[in-house]
Amino acid sequence: MAEFFHMGGYAVYVWSSYGLALLVLIALLVTSLGSLRRKERLLRTLEDSLPRRRRRATTAETAAEDTP
């Protein structure tokens, strides 16, 4: 098992490259989640600032209102 972790003398290069790749992936995950949260907050703010629109009545309700 020790020979596996030693990697024939290249362990420093192999494990450091794995570590660097893992670090980059974690950084991408953190920045992506942060960006998502910021954009969701902005969307919520924009939606709250707009006036509410009334929903269109269905055709049966419209027909009932139009009849005398």
Tokens 């907050």 belong to 41
For residue 34, being part of any structural domain is answered with: yes
pTM above 0.85, yes or no: no
Q: Which domain holds residue 40?
A: 20-47
Q: Per-residue pLDDT tens for 21-63? A: 999 999 999 999 999 999 999 999 999 998 887 777 666 666 6
- Is residue 10 one of the residues assigned to a domain? no
CA separation for the pair 48, 55 (Å, rounded):
17
Q: Is residue 28, in this structure, part of any structural domain at all?
A: yes
Instruction: Please give the residue that has the higher pLDDT: either 12 or 54.
Output: 12
Confirm whether 60 is domain-assigned: no
Residue 30 tokens read as: 């953190």
Higher pLDDT, residue 3 or 34: 34
| Residue 26 CA: distances (Å) to CA of 20, 21, 32 | 10, 9, 10
Number of domains, the chain: 1
- Assess if residue 27 is contained within a domain: yes
